[in-house]
Amino acid sequence: MKNLQATTTLHNGVKMPWFGLGVFKVEEGPELVNAVKAAIKNGYRSIDTAAIYGNEEGVGKGIKEGLQEAGISREELFVTSKVWNADLGYESTLAAFETSLAKLDLEYLDLYLIHWPVEGKYKDAWRALETLYKEGRIKAIGVSNFQIHHLEDLMKDAEIKPMINQVEYHPRLTQKEVQAFCKENGIQLEAWSPLMQGQLLDNETLQEIASKYNKSVAQIILRWDLQNGVVTIPKSTKEHRIIENADVFDFELTGEDMKLIDGLNQNHRVGPDPDNFDF
Ligand SMILES: NC(=O)c1ccc[n+]([C@@H]2O[C@H](COP(=O)([O-])OP(=O)(O)OC[C@H]3O[C@@H](n4cnc5c(N)ncnc54)[C@H](OP(=O)(O)O)[C@@H]3O)[C@@H](O)[C@H]2O)c1
């Protein structure tokens, strides 16, 4: 894990960058397009969006312009989107995929995820993802917000095991059991809201560690993700923070500091509980 382009190899052999840009809550418009372009310009090779974010067109525009300006080919970028709950079902997921791809103006996706484990619906959607994967329209397929029991249930009938599980993950929610289960099953864990949506930046323990390494709290948290073997996708629309967040490849947290950060866990979520949501 030497630089921003470093990758983890998913269980199907596809390489995915350890680090990427998230664009949740960023509306269509120049701020979004510029954030995606700034990320690519500054070395990011992974962008995470979703149909429900309502911003796939701007993400696609940012990708197109960003690649062109940086002189990089599409194959060097890893693009993720997600199928929304209302579209879970075999035919409806196939259709949702086409809509996302058209909005992004891309030929294929690198990763397509089931956004939430809606009971009674995710297995049909998974069959659709398997179809698209076998057709070569998606390089890797995965899930998001799946607890261990959701993964076990899905894998009972699945032909292809998910390559990724993207879950809320930060020092207040360290997800040790989910992580261990994913590791045993060759599923790469990916962190959403790695910065706890900005709510951890004034944490004293993290501030003390940050000053010791001469790094920011955000950088300490993101480095902790990487050293835990977790793919991370912090969101920022500000170029200076896009640069700052990715500047985590020139230092290493000691085992002791890793444990101190682990110790901040309170099983506290900022997002919905995957076992109790109604959308
Ligand atoms: N699968 C899912 O269900 C799910 C759910 C939520 C999110 N996600 C994905 O995960 C990505 C990241 O999660 P998130 O957007 O919820 O939260 P996050 O990345 O934990 O935090 C983003 C917030 O932190 C601020 N920030 C970023 N870098 C900073 C820095 N260096 N210093 C100070 N503030 C900083 C950002 O503000 P500025 O933009 O103003 O810098 C923004 O308000 C999302 O964008 C999305 O792609 C997935």
If one residue of 49, 147, 193, 238 were mutated to test the ligand 1 pocket, choosing by the most ligand atoms within 8 A of its CB, it would be 193
Q: How far apart are the first and last CA of the chain?
A: 37
Which of 38, 58, 117, 59 lies closest to 83, judged by CA?
Answer: 117
Residue 149 structural domain: 7-201+225-252
Residue 1: what pLDDT?
A: 85
User: Does 166 contact ligand 1 (Cβ within 6 A)?
Assistant: yes
In-domain check, residue 101: yes
d(CA 161, CA 143): 10
Write down the residue that tokens 């069959």 correspond to.
Answer: 127
Closest residue by CA, ligand 1 atom 29? 241
Angle 102-145-185 (CA atoms, 0-180°, nearest 5)? Answer: 105
In-domain check, residue 206: no
In-domain check, residue 46: yes
Put simply, whether the predicted model's pTM sits higher than 0.95 gets the answer yes
Number of domains in the chain: 1
Mean pLDDT split into 10-residue runs, the chain, 279 residues: 96 98 97 98 98 98 98 98 98 98 98 98 98 98 98 98 98 98 98 98 98 98 98 98 98 98 98 97
Tell me the CA–centroid distance for residue 183 and ligand 1, in Å.
25
Residue 115 is assigned to a ligand binding site: yes
DSSP 158-182: -SS--SEEEEE-BTTB--HHHHHHH
User: Does 233 contact ligand 1 (Cβ within 6 A)?
Assistant: yes
In-domain check, residue 120: yes
Closest residue by CA, ligand 1 atom 36? 236
In-domain check, residue 243: yes
Where residue 232 sits, what CATH number does that domain have? Answer: 3.20.20.100
Tell me the CA–centroid distance for residue 194 and ligand 1, in Å.
7
In-domain check, residue 2: no
Tell me the CA–centroid distance for residue 227 and ligand 1, in Å.
19
Closest residue by CA, ligand 1 atom 21? 197
Residue 232: what pLDDT?
A: 99
If one residue of 145, 167, 233, 235 were mutated to test the ligand 1 pocket, choosing by the most ligand atoms within 8 A of its CB, it would be 235
In-domain check, residue 41: yes
Does 112 participate in catalysis according to the annotation?
no
In-domain check, residue 51: yes
